[in-house]
């Protein structure tokens, strides 16, 4: 699974506020934040956020991935 999301609203996380324009990418179960691998300690919070956003979008917008870019 390869998906890309962009924050469209400020999101208050455990560590602080994530501003609009930041990216989350999920590739084979690994979560990347703005191009860097996310520390596994934050996976649960971000997975829950992504799952909730797939049902009812509020903070994230899914960004389409060009066909030959994976």
Domain locations in the chain?
Answer: 2-65
pLDDT averaged over every residue in the chain: 91
* pLDDT above 90: residue 13: no
What pLDDT is attached to residue 66? Answer: 79
What pLDDT is attached to residue 67? Answer: 77
Residue carrying structure tokens 């917008």: 61
User: Which H or E run includes 63?
Assistant: strand 60-63
pLDDT digits (tens, 9 = 90+) for 14-34: 889 999 999 999 999 899 999
Q: Are 43 and 33 in contact (CB under 8 A)?
A: no
Distance separating alpha carbons of residues 4 and 24, to the nearest angstrom: 6
What is the reported pTM?
Answer: 0.85
């Amino acid at each position: 699974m390869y998906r890309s999301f962009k924050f469209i609203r400020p999101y208050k996380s455990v560590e602080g506020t994530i501003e609009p324009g930041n990216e989350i990418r999920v590739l084979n179960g690994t979560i990347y934040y703005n191009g860097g691998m996310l520390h596994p300690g934050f996976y649960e919070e971000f997975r829950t956020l992504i799952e909730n956003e797939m049902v009812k979008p509020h903070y994230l917008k899914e960004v389409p991935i060009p066909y030959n870019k994976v």
